[in-house]
């Protein structure tokens, strides 16, 4: 397991979602996630309930590999950050590491007031090269 700074990883993770330049964002995705990395999202309760009603026992959403990860990050950026209304940040000094797992919390913040409007919890499995192999995101937790 490579030595990593868990708080620094959390900061880079939050920064990739805020990056306005598409080429810099693409490079950041490649630097942060392994080529076959996975981002799994536990969606909001309403979506999970709808999935169960449709006969799906789980409603986890996944992006696999750099192309899908780039699309996932770009779409979230377009929806939440591009207008300048919101930004994402890792919470200060709360990232922790045990072996190859890093966990941290993040927040969605109104840029004009600094008011926290949401957030979540990340469980990240780090590969031998120090990049993210698996990323489990729990919004609203």
| Domain enclosing residue 67, as ranges | 6-139
Q: Is residue 21 part of a domain?
A: yes
Q: Is residue 76 part of a domain?
A: yes
**Which pTM value belongs to this model?**
0.89
Q: Is residue 1 part of a domain?
A: no
Work out the mean pLDDT of the chain and round it to a whole number. Answer: 93
Which residues have a Cβ under 8 Å from the Cβ of 126 and sit 6 or more positions away?
1, 2, 4, 9, 100, 101, 102, 132, 133
Which range, of 42-56, 84-98, 125-139, averages the lowest pLDDT? 42-56
Q: Give the total number of structural domains in the chain.
A: 1
Residue 14 has pLDDT above 70, yes or no: yes
Q: Residue 98 sits in a domain of what CATH number?
A: 3.10.450.50
pLDDT digits (tens, 9 = 90+) for 34-76: 999 999 998 878 888 888 888 887 778 899 999 999 999 999 9
Mean pLDDT of 107-136: 96
Query: Which has the closest alpha carbon to 92: 20, 11, 19?
Result: 11
């Amino acid at each position: 397991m490579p030595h990593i700074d868990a708080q620094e990883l959390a900061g880079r993770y939050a920064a990739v979602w805020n990056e306005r330049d598409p080429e810099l964002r693409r490079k950041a995705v490649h630097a942060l996630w392994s080529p076959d990395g996975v981002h799994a999202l536990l969606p909001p309760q309403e979506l999970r309930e709808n999935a169960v009603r449709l006969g799906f026992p789980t409603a986890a959403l996944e992006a696999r590999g750099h192309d899908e990860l780039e699309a996932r990050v770009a779409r979230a950026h377009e929806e939440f950050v591009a207008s300048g209304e919101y930004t994402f940040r890792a919470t200060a000094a709360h990232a922790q590491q045990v072996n190859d797992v890093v966990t941290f919390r993040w927040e969605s913040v109104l840029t004009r007031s600094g008011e926290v409007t949401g957030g979540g919890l990340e469980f990240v499995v780090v590969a031998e090269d120090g990049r993210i192999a698996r990323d489990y995101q729990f919004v609203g937790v």
